Structure 1
Amino acid sequence: MPLALLALAIGAFGIGTTEFVVMGLLPEIAGDYGVSIPSAGLLVTGYAIGVVIGAPLMAVLGTRIGRKTMLMILMGLFVAGNLLSAVAPTMGVMLVGRIVTSLAHGAFF
């Protein structure tokens, strides 16, 4: 298997996991941030909205950039958003981190 294909597969796995893992953790997230489970569900909605906005936006912005460079930029954005989510002290910061992460989702695929 070519190394580039393996890298793409790992990236797709990471993005897919990031998208869906929050759903299983909503009770814990709600408890940690002191919000209701439906309020914590906004993390799922925020991610979805970020994908809808980010996919065409990043695709348009990436038309003048090489594919490899664009993939590296998208993965950098993905990692930055996940790091922000990981250290988020409040629910609002966590939501921002999730939205930043989601911007890379659609364009990566």
Structure 2
Amino acid sequence: MTMMAGLQIHQEELAGRITLRLEGTLDWRTAAQLRHSLEALGPREVMLDFTHLREFKDTAVGVLTQSLPAHQKVQFRGLAGHHERMFRYFGVSTGSAPRAYYTPEEILA
């Protein structure tokens, strides 16, 4: 487990895939430290688990996407719709299908 001011990272490895379970607050400062942790893992498959975050600041998305290693396969779990869209705005696929902004009833109206 890695501890940063306001953020705990629990690292678990199963079948060659590393899961980084994040707890606490993810902001621009802790996101920069998380990015360095990702870079240190090299070309391994990594799952970022946001399920247990208490707070997720939008500034963290910009910091994380600045240099997500192109050679590393990063998957995401536990993202709210807002943060899924934020990652897509920065050109990073979260693996889930984009959600409709309007319901079918609103489109027909």
* Shared fold, TM over 0.5: no
Which has the larger helix fraction?
Answer: 1
Which has the larger strand fraction?
Answer: 2
TM-score, with structure 2 as normaliser: 0.24
> Structure with the greater relative contact order (CA < 8 A, sep ≥ 6): 1 or 2?
1
